[in-house]
Structure 1
Amino acid sequence: MNVPDDHAAKGGADLLADTLTLAGPGPVLLDGFDVVLVDPSHAREAVARLDNLVGLAAVGTVFTHDDSWGFFLPEQSGKPTWPAPVRYFGTGATLTLPPAPQPQTAEGWIRWSDGPIYTAPLLLHAVLADIAARHRPDDAPASPPAHVRLLEPPAMPAPKIAFFDLDDTLTDHATSFRRWAEEFAARYGIPQHEVEDAEVRCAGQRDAFFADLKTRHNITTSIAALHAQYRQRSAQLVPHRPQVCTAIRSLRNGGWRLGVITNGDPSTQRLKLRTARLDDLFEAVVISGEYGIRKPDHNLYRIALDALDTSAGFMVGDDLDADVSGGSQAGLRTVWISGGRERPSTSPEPDHTVDTVLEAVELLRGHAHAALPAVA
């Protein structure tokens, strides 16, 4: 980073002209310096840590990467002392530079594009310059060169790939359950609200749910038989939502490669896709019951990534643990379908939050070049 001694006297345009520039996006070999990625909520702690580094003048700039703040650092700058959570990349490692954020969402830290990279905002720039000036030896140059080189130029933009959860994301599970509950209540002479109350009490745990109903209402059919009937019939009652089909098809027609990652019984989940008329829109359908692992296990995501021969993309789903946490662990950018819910402060934080799957599709269209490589 070129840090002018008279940065305080310069205007914004001049200050930007003096900042680090290099071609991007693409894989970068860290040669002669380290990089640390810090959550923005720990910015003050990170800057305080920078203030104590020896040799900061040799590197010292800031950028954004996968919604983290990245700092170029002198070699061996001390991984344990940075505020957690943190990702630390030492000299010799490879860090892939992300594509440019959309203009309307850019915070102005750094913009990666097919051209140069420009740093801002000026306040943090000035803070870093001040720290560097105080730590620079008298004989050190004021504008040291950046030890950065691209390993290979990207031949094309980041791939447009997205994976979707099934229940309560692509399909309307609430409606199918309500339709099933109405039929079940009529068959066994139970008030429908009793079936719905049992669903709340058992939090969707099917064995407990049917055991509860058997005990309370003297149902003689076995739990296994009730569960099998439920899987088949509830899948047949999934509503067809033309708007969702149209939206997903528009992504596919726009060059997106699409997949489904879902927990559940394979035959049931595939029947839901057919009933909702979505089964012809996805290249890969990865179902937990076929592999013996369930979301949020990142290995299920790895299977889906492998099916599309990629390591980048988005995960869209309604479950903060299964979809957001699991997708993030697999290196995917995450889109949480909140359905109007507030995210608990202790839950995983998604990259993006929307109310509906239709809004998720619109977001993906707007981020057509924002898929990031998975973290190994």
Structure 2
Amino acid sequence: MTNVPAGGTDLLADALTLTAPGPVLLTGFDVVLVPQGHARTAVARLDALRPTAVGAVFTHEGHWGFLLPEESGDPAWPTPARYASAGTTLTMPPAPRPGAGAGWIRWGHGPIYTAPLLLHAVLADIASRHHPGDGPAVPPSAHVHLLEPPTMSSPKTAFFDLDATLTDQATSFRRWAEEFATRYGITPKEIHDAEVRSAGHRDRFFTELKAAHGIRSSLAALHAQYRQRTAELVPHRPQVCTAIRSLRDDGWRLGVITNGDPTTQRQKLRRARLDDLFESVVISGEYGIRKPDPDLFRIALDALGTGSGFMIGDDLDADISGGSRAGLCTVWVSGGRNLPSAAPIPDHTVRDAVDAVKLLREHPHA
């Protein structure tokens, strides 16, 4: 590992000519493999090591692998990390295509960790020195070259929440409430107060209104009518459509990740005139899992064939916590709210979806 610069800011590789040597005996460094969904936890652990001791990070079969100094497994890496110490063998990952920069990351204000090419070069060098039966060892300088780091390619992938992020949920609810109040002789204030007390839980909301005003319709009927009518009353916001379209036209791959009933959520997209702007729409009701479960985000990532990107949403638990656990860069749509003290911390905060698009244009690297 003497050829690996401190901090991993330079790239060692001959990507065009190296071939995989197969299982390699580790010497001079250890490796820890971490599932992608736990990468943020792993980086926090790395921060406890000397910054110059971390050589690289590579991706392989759904895991992130870190080159570490020897005996860095004490204290033990937490499950589900898999730790391989010097003296054990590691199967060579396939070499990435030349120029690939997807493995390059900077986490916070720490060092830059390098791409899979670095591991490929280092292990090829080790293989040449640990297979004496293949002939004399080739000096590392003969096949490992010091290159300028490649320009980091932008993933240009973003996922948006639907309710209160892409759509104006407050206006839709207000329009429905006016109709409902007229039908049942309830004042808008009474509906507003019931909404505040129920904190958005529709079962409690309709149970209170039924009891207070003698409404004879069943809870199921009231809820079904509410879902259908609020979807129909979603307003078209031209500025949001223009912003999203500009991202798509600029080469961004866009998806929606939303909780809810599939029919209702797709109706909202149509009413907002957003349905033709997204390559993928993942709705919890179609999969039996809901945000913040990271598996729903992974379904969306798989739909676009990517492992990284942005998650933009208004819900700190469902969108920000869930997106972060899935390894996405998170953008909180605050609507002017202050971040609660105990809430998950987003990577970025904006006021609305239009401002989120401006942020993505200025900072396209997730």
How many residues matched? 305
AA at the equivalent of 2:11: A
Please state how far the C-alpha of 1:201 moved relative to its aligned partner.
Answer: 0.8
Instruction: Provide closer, same or farther for how the CA distance between residues 99 and 247 of structure 1 changes in structure 2, counting only shifts above 3 A.
Output: farther
Does 36-45 or 325-334 show the bigger shift?
36-45
User: Which of 46, 49, 52 is equivalent to 2:48?
Assistant: 46
* Distance in 2 of aligned mates of 1:338 and 1:79: 41
Quick one: which amino acid aligns to residue 22 of structure 1? D
- 8 Å contact from structure 1 (residues 39, 86) kept in 2: no
CA contact (8 A) 2:210 2:216 kept: yes
State the match for 1:60 in structure 2.
Answer: 53
Residue identity opposite 2:180 in structure 1: F
Matched, 1:256 2:252: yes
Letter in 1 for 2:304: L
Q: Is residue 344 from structure 1 mapped to residue 313 from structure 2 by the alignment? A: no
Selected match of 2:73 from 72, 78, 88: 78
Partners of 2:40 and 2:309 lie apart in 1 by 22
Offset at residue 24 of structure 1 (A)? 8.8
2:314 partner letter: D
What one-letter code is carried by the residue in structure 2 that aligns with 1:179?
R
Deviation string for 1:292-322 (max 9, x for gaps)? 1111111211221221122221111111111
Counterpart of 1:22 in structure 2 is 10
Local SS of the residue matching 1:312: coil
Query: What does 1:140-155 align with in structure 2 at a 5 Å threshold?
Result: none
Aligned pairs (5 A) from 1:203-352: 203-352=199-348
Residues 313 and 333 in structure 1, CA contact (< 8 A), matched pair in contact too: yes
Deviation at 1:231, TM superposition (A): 0.8
Q: CA deviation at 1:366?
A: 2.1
Q: CA deviation at 1:177?
A: 0.6
CA contact (8 A) 1:335 1:352 kept: yes
CA distance in 2, matches of 1:263, 1:341: 22
Change (3 A) 1:24 1:361: farther
Distance in structure 2 (CA, Å) of the matches to 1:309 and 1:156: 18
Q: Closer, same or farther in 2 for the Cα pair 1:233/1:351, shift >3 Å?
A: same
Between the aligned partners of 2:262 and 2:221, the Cα distance in structure 1 is: 17
Distance 1:156 1:109 in 2: 15
> Residue by residue, what CA displacement relative to the aligned partner does 1:112-150 show, whole Å, maximum 9, x if unpaired?
79xx9xxxxxxxxxxxxxxxxxxxxxxxxxxxx9xx999
Write the letter of the residue equivalent to 2:327.
G
What whole-Å deviation, never above 9, does each CA across 1:320-350 have from its counterpart, x for those lacking one?
1111121122222211112222223332222
Asked if the contact 1:305–1:311 (Cα under 8 Å) also holds between the matched residues in 2, the reply is yes
- Answer whether contact 1:97 1:112 (CA < 8 A) is retained: no
Distance in 1 between the 2:166 and 2:8 partners? 43
- Does the 8 Å contact 1:288/1:294 carry over to 2? yes
Q: What TM-score comes out, normalization by structure 2 length?
A: 0.69
Deviation at 1:289, TM superposition (A): 1.1
Are residues 18 and 169 of structure 1, via their aligned partners in 2, closer, same or farther at CA, if it must alter by over 3 Å?
Answer: closer
Distance 1:85 1:107, change over 3 A: farther
Corresponding residue for 1:122?
Answer: none
Q: What SS is found at the alignment partner of 2:308?
A: coil
SS of aligned partner of 1:343: coil
Match of 1:11 in 2: none
- Residue pair 2:320, 2:330 contacting (<8 A) in 1 also: yes
Distance in 2 separating the partners of 1:24 and 1:170: 44
Structure 1: gaps of 5 or more residues? 3-16, 51-55, 117-144, 372-376
One-letter amino acid matched to 1:322: A
Contact 1:38/1:85, CA 8 A, preserved across alignment? no
> Measured at CA, do residues 208 and 20 of structure 1 come closer, stay the same or move farther in structure 2, by a change above 3 Å?
closer
2:326 is matched by which residue type in structure 1? A
CA distance in 2, matches of 1:38, 1:299: 16
CA 1:160–1:149 in structure 2 vs 1: closer, same or farther (change >3 Å)? farther
TM-score by length of 1: 0.67
Deviation at 1:227, TM superposition (A): 0.9
- Contact 1:76-1:90 within 8 A present in 2 as well: no
Taking only aligned residues, the RMSD between alpha carbons, in angstroms, comes to 4.3
